[in-house]
Amino acid sequence: MTAQIIDGKKIAYELRQEIANNVADIKSKYRIIPGLAVILVGNDPASEVYVSNKEKAAHQVGMNSFQYKLAHDISEQELIDKIHELNCDKNIHGILVQLPLPKNIDANKVILAIDPKKDVDGFNIINVGKLSIGQINGSEKAIVPCTPLGCLDLIKKTVGENLAGKKALIIGTSNIVGRPLTRLLMLEGCTVTCANRSTKDLKKECLQAEIIISATGVAGLIKADMVGKNTIIIDVGINRISDSNNKTKLVGDVDFENVKEIVKAITPVPGGVGPMTIAYLLKNTLECCLKLINKK
């Protein structure tokens, strides 16, 4: 039996509609428009596409989008000065610096310069620390990275709200996906195992898991003989490969065509996690705006 294909586009669309309604309410009640600032350093084609998509999505929900394209040879201090300027701008509620940055710039210093209250990526050490101690509710809660939030939403839409006791395997331990998602699932009561592309007997780990989230960037890492019929798979991987006609196409970490014939549910690539990441970027921006309003 073919798996349920988890439609990230549809779920993200529904979330964006909810965000758009909230943005309209804020405009009506407070005469404030949530504003998202995106900084792009250099002219990397992939990064330009990502930034353009984020700007388009912000406009679709009625937010203001401020795009700052900076020269590839900008100094680290000049970039940090720009961030400090945006930190003080009352029209901007969320700040995102598109990664990767040029080699002459320390990304950690740049992320640290972002006001934690405007850190919509959730990468600032203040937000990382809040998440690590489980501070995910209340007025001073952590801003959580967008992709892990999107993954959690997709899992709950598929499995149900109560994840307590579920066995989850996260493959990939980056600060962007693996580590924050591990903490989120732990806070949901899951039994979480962390693995990577070098894990010995990865097949055994996969077969023991009810939920598998793969974020390694290794095409075809998860094969059909590594999964069971009740497995839910969230594929975060984005890999470009050449097909039989020598045309490039996007695929995930999972051998989708074969695995979908076995598992219970799976996200496609593209059309799974990607749309959710952008939707939660908008949601984080909205929540940053609401926090500022509530403090006035």
Q: What would the pLDDT profile of 65-82 be if each residue is shown by its tens digit?
A: 999 999 999 999 999 999
Q: Which CATH number is 51's domain given? A: 3.40.50.10860
% of residues, the chain, pLDDT over 70: 99
Instruction: Point out the residues that are catalytic.
Output: 54, 98, 121
Assess if residue 122 is contained within a domain. Answer: yes
Phi/psi for 63 (5° steps) reads -85, 160
| Residues 80 and 61 occupy one common structural domain | yes
- Residue numbers of the domain that contains 184: 146-272
What's the pLDDT at 244?
A: 74
| Residues 205 and 133 occupy one common structural domain | no
| Residues 36 and 115 occupy one common structural domain | yes
| Residues 171 and 241 occupy one common structural domain | yes
Q: Which CATH number is 221's domain given? A: 3.40.50.720
Query: In 2-36, which positions are buried (b, 16+ CB within 10 angstroms) versus exposed (e)?
Result: ebeebbbeebbeebbeebbebbeebeeeeebebbb
- Token reading at 135: 């501070």
Q: Is the pLDDT of residue 122 over 60?
A: yes
| Residues 225 and 283 occupy one common structural domain | no
% of residues, the chain, pLDDT over 90: 89
| Residues 187 and 209 occupy one common structural domain | yes
Assess if residue 103 is contained within a domain. Answer: yes
Of residues 242 and 92, more confidently modeled:
92
Across the range 33-48, mean pLDDT stands at: 93
Indicate the average pLDDT of the chain.
Answer: 95
| Residues 281 and 201 occupy one common structural domain | no
Assess if residue 8 is contained within a domain. Answer: no
| Residues 282 and 262 occupy one common structural domain | no
Q: Is the pLDDT of residue 246 over 90?
A: no
Assess if residue 13 is contained within a domain. Answer: no
| Residues 213 and 258 occupy one common structural domain | yes
- The total domain count for the chain is 2
Look at the block and give the residue holding tokens 């097909």: 243
Across the range 212-216, mean pLDDT stands at: 97
Lowest-confidence segment of 32-46, 156-170, 236-250 by average pLDDT = 236-250
pTM for the predicted model, two decimal places: 0.95
Please give the C-alpha separations between residue 82 and each of 104, 237, 248, 283, in angstroms, as whole numbers: 17, 32, 37, 24
Assess if residue 2 is contained within a domain. Answer: no
- Token reading at 215: 């974020």
| Residues 36 and 130 occupy one common structural domain | yes
What's the pLDDT at 12?
A: 98
Confidence of residue 155 (pLDDT cuts 50, 70, 90): very high
Assess if residue 248 is contained within a domain. Answer: yes
Assess if residue 24 is contained within a domain. Answer: no
| Half-sphere CA count of 160, side-chain side, radius 13 A | 5
Please give the C-alpha separations between residue 284 and each of 59, 145, 170, 258, 294, in angstroms, as whole numbers: 15, 9, 23, 36, 15
Confidence of residue 296 (pLDDT cuts 50, 70, 90): low
**Cα gap 158→179, rounded to integer Å:** 22
Q: Is the pLDDT of residue 97 over 70?
A: yes
Confidence of residue 150 (pLDDT cuts 50, 70, 90): very high
| Residues 280 and 181 occupy one common structural domain | no
What's the pLDDT at 46?
A: 83
Residue 5 contacts by C-beta under 8 Å, 6 or more apart in sequence?
260, 265, 266, 267, 268
Assess if residue 217 is contained within a domain. Answer: yes
E strand or H helix at 19: helix 8-30
| Residues 59 and 150 occupy one common structural domain | no
Confidence of residue 144 (pLDDT cuts 50, 70, 90): very high
- Residue 281 class from Cβ within 10 Å (0-12 exposed, 13-18 middle, 19+ buried)? buried
